[in-house]
Amino acid sequence: MAASTLDAFLDSHALARDGRAELVEIVRAIANASIKVRNVINQGALGAAFAGTRGGANATGDTQKDLDVHADTVFLDALRGAPVALYGSEELDHPVLLNPAARLAVAIDPLDGSSNIDTNLSIGTIFSVLPVLGDPLAEPDRTFLQPGRVQLAAGFVIYGPQLAIVLTLGSGTHVFVFSTRLGAFVQAYESRTIDRRAHEFAINASNYRHWYEAVRLYIDDCLKGAEGPRERDFNMRWNASLVSEAYRILMRGGVFLYPADQRKGYGHGRLRLVYEANPIAMLVEQAGGSATDTVHDILDLVPEGLHQRTPLVFGAAKEVARIARYHTEPSLIGERSPLFGNRGLFRA
């Protein structure tokens, strides 16, 4: 049977579920806009959007590059023609009111991993679709202060060797790769499943001295390999691109950690809850994985602001649960535990 295109997949979803036509139209608009962003990215340093850093910061305090702003403009313009009431972006201080009569809102990180722009590594776009809550004209922020469980759709685009969209509409996590021959996104993987066990972790080990004890002990146990309490060797990865890390975990398993740490400004984590952690968490859960703030399920957290930060751990369900136990049951961790000999709590 021939693989489905993204358009056919979306059409089927709209027919199968009443009232989802608006949702499908929004996802289609994001997909089409991503092709435009990809075309600019492919020009690299030869393109005007790679002119450099603007010298300022975005709404969350991160250095803003020209390509960040360009991508934000492309997606905002694309969604002006879609049934979107509110547009909440990493690059903007406040939500933008588009169509007050519409019932849906979009939260988006237009260009994730922009520190990799100049080094030709994979970068991406992360998005979430939410139901509008209250009057979008009078209280535009309220819609984005809902827990991630209410998301109607979530996804990310990865601009790498392949242009791909990873998408969930609430029933599985699906991957569509852009075919230059067909000029369309074609389904490459249906209903991805993340192995519950992990043999690979992703973390920025340069911050080891700043981590809290639970994270240090967890990584120490992994690094001890087959001779340690985990009784197997682990690989380590880190490339500072959330979408790239998430795509790898969806393809071959593992776990990702971006914990809070003791540095100034990192006590509550660094990733944004609404438009980074929530959509990634929905995708991961729909693939059989888990996502937490090291202890609590990400999708159960209630945001206090559009740009709220959070620690984030996601990937293999058993490994994510293990990391939570390192935080909640410290007396049973590592060599300090009398259970170290058999590691009944941690063995798996």
* pLDDT tens-digit map of 55-94: 466 666 676 789 999 999 999 999 999 999 999 999 999 9
Co-location of 147 and 205 in the same domain: no
Rounded-to-integer distance, Cα 255 and Cα 278, Å: 16
Q: Which run of H or E residues covers position 292?
A: strand 290-292
Picking from 165, 189, 213, the residue at the C-terminal end of a domain is 189
Q: What confidence tens digit (pLDDT) does each residue in 144-173 have? A: 999 999 999 999 999 999 999 999 999 999
Domain boundary among 158, 189, 220: 189
Q: Is residue 255 part of a domain?
A: yes
φ, ψ of residue 97 to 5 degrees: the values are -80, 120
Domain encompassing residue 12:
6-189
Hey, how many other C-beta atoms are within 10 angstroms of the C-beta on 13?
18
The pLDDT of residue 44 is: 81
| pLDDT bucket at 54, cuts 50 / 70 / 90 | low
Task: Report how many domains make up the chain.
Answer: 2
In a domain, 194, yes or no: no
Is the pTM higher than 0.85? The answer reads: yes
Q: How would residue 118 be classed by pLDDT, with cut points 50, 70 and 90?
A: confident
pLDDT at 105 over 80: yes
Shared domain for 182 and 206, answered yes or no, is no
Contact by Cβ (8 Å): 4, 21: no
DSSP 180: T
Three-class SS of residue 290? strand
pLDDT for position 61: 63
Is the domain of 135 the same as that of 251?
Answer: no
How many C-beta neighbours within 10 Å does residue 302 have? Answer: 10
68 and 25: one domain?
A: yes
Q: Are residues 80 and 138 in the same domain?
A: yes
pLDDT over threshold 70, residue 342: no
Q: Do residues 180 and 236 both lie within one domain?
A: no
Q: What is the pLDDT of residues 208-258, one digit of tens each?
A: 999 999 999 999 999 999 999 999 999 999 999 999 999 999 999 999 999
Whether 128 and 216 share a structural domain: no
- How many other CB atoms are found less than 10 A from the CB of residue 99? 16
Same-domain pairing of 237 and 138: no
290 lies in the same domain as 328: yes
Characterize the bridge pairing of strands 235-237 and 123-131.
unpaired
Whether residues 168 and 237 fall in one domain: no
Measure the CA angle with vertex 20, ends 152 and 187; round to 5°. Answer: 75
In a domain, 84, yes or no: yes
Residues 95 and 158 in one domain: yes
